[in-house]
Amino acid sequence: MKRICIIGGGQLAWMMGDAAESLGLKLIIQTPHPTDPAVPIASETIFASIDDAIATTQLAACCDVITFENEFINLEALMPLAQQGVCFRPPLDALAPLLDKYHQRSYFQSIGLPQPDFRILEGEISQQPLNIPAFDEHSITLNELVFPLVIKARRHGYDGQGTFIIKDKNSFDETWKKLGKIPVLLEEFIPFERELAVIAARSVTGEVVVYPVVETQQENQVCRRVFAPARISATVVREIEAIARTLLNSLQAVGVFGIELFLTSNGKILVNEVSPRTHNSGHFSLDACETSQFEMHLRAVAGLPLGSPALQCESAVMVNLLGYEYSQNDYQEKRQKLATIPNSFIHWYGKTESRPGRKLGHVTVLLDSKEETQAQAIAQQIESLWYSC
C-alpha cells in the first residue's frame, strides 16, 4: 500500500478520503488542528503548522510521496528534503514559479500565456513621486495611475483575501496602507464577459488530461457558483485546453492544477491565476465526472494511470455553502431541505464554526440538459434555501 502524505488538512484533503480508500492508498496528514476536516480520514496525523519543515521531515520518514492541499508552504525550507531524495509531487521546482503572484505572472509571460498587463509595486514610498511602469511602454507617477486597477498581495491570498479592485486614488492609498505598503502586484482591470476555470492533471509519465471548462460566478472575489460545462464556443474550449497543456508540460508538473481565466467581450482568453492543487472550481467532478479531481490527483501523485475527466451527465451546477453569520451551527435543517432537490449531492466539511464567507460545504446538482436558465434557477433555489433566515 502506498503512503501519501498531504501537507494541509482542510476540505480539499478531506475530499481525497474516499478516493484513497478505493485506490488502496494510505493518507497521512500534516495539519495544525485536531478539528481540521481531513483529520478523521487520515491513517495518521502530525499536528503542526503547514509551513513547519521540521514536522515535514518527520512526515517524510513514514511516506512514499508528499503532496499539498494548499500553497502556503515554506518552499525554501523544503528544498533540502528534496535534495535528500524525498519525493514531492508536484515537484518543488514546479511550485517555485507559482507561489508568489508576481513570479507567477512573470512565468506566464516567459512561456507565452495570454494574461492581463501587470507591474510590481515595491515597498514603502517616499515623499518624492514614485515612477511605476504603466500598462504600456512608458512610465507614470503614482498620481497618474489609470483606474480601475487590481492590487494583489504577492503571497497567501485566497477566497478573495489579498485581492482588491481599486477604483480611485483614495482607495489605492487606503488599501496599500492597510497592506502595510509591502510589495504588491498591480494588474490591469479586465471587464470580462465571463469568468472561466479548468482543472487539468499531469501524470509522472507526462500524460495530461483536461476537465470540461466551467463558468464560475464570484461575489467579493469569492466563488459562489460553478456551471459545468461553460456555455462557450468550441474554439474557446480548445484554446483553454492548449493553455492548460502548455502550462503543465512547461512546469513538468505532477498532479492536479486549477486554472482561472477571463473571457472578454471580444472573445479573448486571459489567464487570471493558477493554483497548484485541487481547486474549488473542480468540486463538481466529485459527482458529475467519471473521475473526480481528488481521485485524479491521487492517481497522478501515486504514479497510477490517470482516469477519465468526462462528464457523466449533460451538465451540473455547484454552489458553495458559505457562512453568513458567526455561530456554532451544523445547519442540519437547511441541509435536509437542500437534499430534497432532485439529483443533489451535499458535501458538508464538518467545520465547527461558521463565519461570514467561510466555506462550510457545497451542493452539486446533476442536470439532464445544457439549458443555462435551468442551471441558474437551480443555483438560485439552493441559495434561497441556504441564506434564508
**Please, what sign has the CA dihedral across residues 48, 52, 54, 57?**
positive
Is 116 in a helix, a strand, or coil? coil
Check: CB of residue 165 under 8 Å from CB of residue 175: no
Amino acid letter for position 54: I
pTM, 2 dp: 0.93
Between residues 69 and 169, the one the model is more confident about = 69
CA angle at 90 for the pair 86 and 95, rounded to the nearest 5°: 105
Question: Is 238's pLDDT higher than 50?
Answer: yes
- Condensed to tens digits (0 to 9), the pLDDT of residues 4-44 reads 999 999 999 999 999 999 999 999 999 999 999 999 999 99
Instruction: Supply the Cα-derived Rg of the chain in whole angstroms.
Output: 21
Which whole number is the average pLDDT over 230-244? Answer: 97
The DSSP code for 343 is: T
SS3 state at 200: strand
Higher pLDDT, 144 or 45: 45
Helix%, strand%, coil% for the chain, nearest 5: 30, 30, 40
Q: Which amino acid is at 142?
A: L
Residue 330: partners with Cβ closer than 8 Å, 6 or more residues away: 348
Among the residue ranges 122-136, 167-181, 284-298, the one predicted with the least confidence is 122-136
In the predicted structure, residue 138 carries a pLDDT above the cut 50:
no
How many residues does the structure list for the chain? 389
Q: What is the pLDDT of residues 49-70, one digit of tens each?
A: 999 999 999 889 999 999 999 9
Question: Is the domain defined by 117-188 classed in CATH 3.30.1490.20?
Answer: yes
The domain 3-88 having CATH identifier 3.20.20.70: the answer here is no
What is the per-residue pLDDT for 142? 59
Tell me which of 149-158, 357-366, 375-384 is least confident: 149-158
Residue ranges of domains in the chain:
3-88, 117-188, 194-387
Cα–Cα distance for residue pair 119/134, rounded to 1 Å = 8
pLDDT exceeds cutoff 90 at 146:
no
- The partner residues of 328 in beta bridges, in order of sequence, read none
Name the band, by pLDDT with cuts 50, 70 and 90, for residue 125. very low
Closest CA to 75 of 90, 58, 59, 64: 90
What's residue 154's pLDDT? 86
- The CB density around residue 302, as the number of other CB atoms within 10 Å, is 20
Please tell me the predicted confidence (pLDDT) of residue 307. Answer: 97
Fold of 194-387: D-amino Acid Aminotransferase; Chain A, domain 1 (3.30.470)
Write out pLDDT tens, residues 268-290: 999 999 999 999 999 999 999 99
